[in-house]
C-alpha cells in the first residue's frame, strides 16, 4: 500500500473543512498555489480526482476515504500526545489546528448536557471541533468519515463503529401564557400557569391555529410531537425557523409562537411561570446514542466515558 504524505492529507482535509482553497491556505499558512500543488500530487498518487470543484466543494468517494484516514491519523497523534504528556509534559507543544478531533452533536444536546461532559477534556487541551446538525442527521458526518463520533437517534451501529445508548431527551410543547391566551383562550377568560393537567391547552383541533418555532427545515420534532400527542397520521404545521436551541426558546419567550423543546431547557422557565406546558399529559422521549469508530484509542474511550456519564445524569433511562 502507498504511504501518503501527511501534509498532503491535511491539505485535502483543510480544503473540505474550510470550504475552499483560499481558506485552506490561510489555515495551513501556505500559499494557495501550494495547496493546489499538494492536492494535485495526492490525486496523482491515488490515481483519481479527490475533490469535486463545485460550489460548495465536495470530496469524491475516494476523497471521503482519505479524509477518514486523515481523521484516524489525528486520533493516533492525539493518543500519542496524551501518553507523552504523562511522561514528559514539558516537552509537548500546543496542538496544531489541523489536529482537531471532530465530533458531531445535535444542537439540543449541545444546549443542555453535552458541553459539561466535554469541559474537562477541553481543559486538558484536547483540540476538539464540535459540528452541529439535527439529531437524525449527525450520523451522516460519521458515515462520510468527517467526524470520529456522533450523538444521534440512530440505534444501528454503522460499519466499523460501536454504539452506546445514552438515554432519552424529553421534549415538551411550550408557549408563553400571554400567547396561549391570545390564540387559544376563551374570550374574557384567563390562562392559569398551573393549569389543570387534564385539560391540555393544545389539542388535535386547535394546533393549526398556532405558528411553531422549529430549528430548521430538517427538523420534524414539532410535527412528530403533535402527531404522537394526538394520534394523528398526517400533520402539517405553520412553522418559523430559528437554527439554535436557545434561540427557539428566546423566540417563544418573545411571542413568536409555540415550540417543542427539551424539558431540560424549558422546565426552569415553566417553574417561573414564563412558559406553560401546553400538553401537560404528554412528553415526547427521543432516544440518543453515541457512535464512534471501533478503534483502540484512549481519546475515544475518554470521549465515550465523559458523554455517557453526563447523559446518565441528565437524560431519562
- Tens digit of pLDDT for each residue in 59-82? 888 888 888 888 888 888 777 777
In this prediction, residue 85 carries a pLDDT of 66
In the chain, DSSP assigns E strands to: 51-52, 58-59, 101-106, 128-133, 149-152, 161-175, 211-214, 238-241, 259-262, 276-277, 284-293
Tell me the three state secondary structure of residue 65. Answer: helix
CA atoms within 13 A on the CB side of 289: 17
Look up the CATH number of domain 1-99. Answer: 1.10.10.10
Count of C-beta atoms within a 10 Å radius of residue 311: 25
DSSP state of 187: T
In this prediction, residue 72 carries a pLDDT of 82
Q: What digits encode the pLDDT tens for the residues 119-134? A: 999 998 888 899 998 8
Residue 92 pLDDT level (bands cut at 50, 70, 90): very low
Handedness of CA 150, 151, 156, 162 (dihedral sign): positive
In this prediction, residue 19 carries a pLDDT of 87
Mean pLDDT over the full length of the chain? 87
Q: Average pLDDT in the 290-301 region?
A: 89
Decide: 27 and 14 in contact? Cβ < 8 Å. Answer: yes
DSSP state of 40: H
Q: What digits encode the pLDDT tens for the residues 205-244? A: 999 999 999 999 989 999 999 999 999 998 999 999 999 9
Q: Average pLDDT in the 80-90 region?
A: 63
Q: In the numeric block, which cell numbers belong to residue 138?
A: 449527525
Q: In the numeric block, which cell numbers belong to residue 212?
A: 411553531
pLDDT over 70 at 190, yes or no: no
Match domain 170-285 to its CATH number in 3.30.70.1350, 3.40.190.10, 3.50.40.10, 3.40.50.300. Answer: 3.40.190.10
Q: What residues contact residue 297 under an 8 Å CB cut-off, 6+ apart? A: 75, 76, 79
pLDDT over 50 at 189, yes or no: no
DSSP state of 209: G
pTM assigned to the model: 0.74
- Which residue in this structure is represented by grid cell 430538517? 218
Q: Which of 49-58, 92-101, 116-125 has the lowest mean pLDDT?
A: 92-101
Count of C-beta atoms within a 10 Å radius of residue 98: 20
d(CA 159, CA 300): 17
d(CA 302, CA 299): 5
Domain ranges of the chain: 1-99, 170-285
Amino acid at each position: 500500500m502507498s504511504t501518503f504524505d501527511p501534509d498532503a492529507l491535511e491539505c485535502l482535509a483543510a480544503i473540505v473543512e474550510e470550504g475552499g482553497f483560499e481558506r485552506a491556505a490561510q489555515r495551513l499558512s501556505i500559499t494557495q498555489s501550494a495547496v493546489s500543488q499538494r492536492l494535485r500530487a495526492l490525486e496523482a498518487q491515488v490515481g483519481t480526482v479527490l475533490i469535486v470543484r463545485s460550489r460548495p466543494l465536495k470530496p469524491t468517494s475516494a476523497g471521503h476515504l482519505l479524509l477518514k484516514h486523515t481523521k484516524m491519523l489525528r486520533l493516533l497523534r492525539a493518543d500519542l500526545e496524551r501518553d507523552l504528556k504523562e511522561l514528559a509534559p514539558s516537552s509537548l507543544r500546543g496542538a496544531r489546528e489541523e489536529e482537531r478531533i471532530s465530533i458531531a452533536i445535535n444542537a439540543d444536546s449541545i444546549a443542555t448536557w453535552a458541553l459539561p461532559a466535554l469541559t474537562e477534556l477541553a481543559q486538558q487541551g484536547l483540540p476538539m471541533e464540535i459540528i452541529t446538525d439535527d439529531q437524525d442527521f449527525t450520523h451522516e458526518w460519521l458515515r462520510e468519515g468527517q467526524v470520529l463520533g456522533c450523538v444521534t437517534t440512530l440505534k444501528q451501529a454503522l460499519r466499523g463503529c460501536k454504539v452506546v445508548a445514552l438515554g432519552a431527551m424529553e421534549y415538551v410543547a411550550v408557549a408563553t401564557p400571554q400567547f396561549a391566551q391570545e390564540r387559544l383562550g376563551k374570550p374574557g377568560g384567563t390562562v392559569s400557569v398551573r393549569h389543570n393537567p387534564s385539560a391540555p391547552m393544545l389539542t388535535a383541533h386547535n394546533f393549526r391555529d398556532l405558528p411553531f418555532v422549529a430549528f430548521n427545515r430538517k427538523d420534524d420534532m414539532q410535527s412528530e410531537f403533535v402527531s404522537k400527542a394526538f394520534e394523528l397520521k398526517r400533520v402539517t404545521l405553520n412553522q418559523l425557523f430559528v437554527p439554535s436551541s436557545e434561540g427557539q426558546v428566546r423566540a417563544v419567550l418573545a411571542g413568536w409562537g409555540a415550540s417543542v423543546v427539551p424539558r431540560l431547557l424549558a422546565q426552569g422557565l415553566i417553574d417561573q411561570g414564563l412558559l406553560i406546558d401546553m400538553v401537560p399529559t404528554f412528553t415526547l422521549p427521543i432516544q440518543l446514542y453515541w457512535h464512534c469508530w471501533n478503534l483502540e484509542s484512549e481519546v475515544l474511550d475518554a470521549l465515550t466515558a465523559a458523554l455517557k456519564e453526563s447523559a446518565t445524569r441528565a437524560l431519562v433511562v
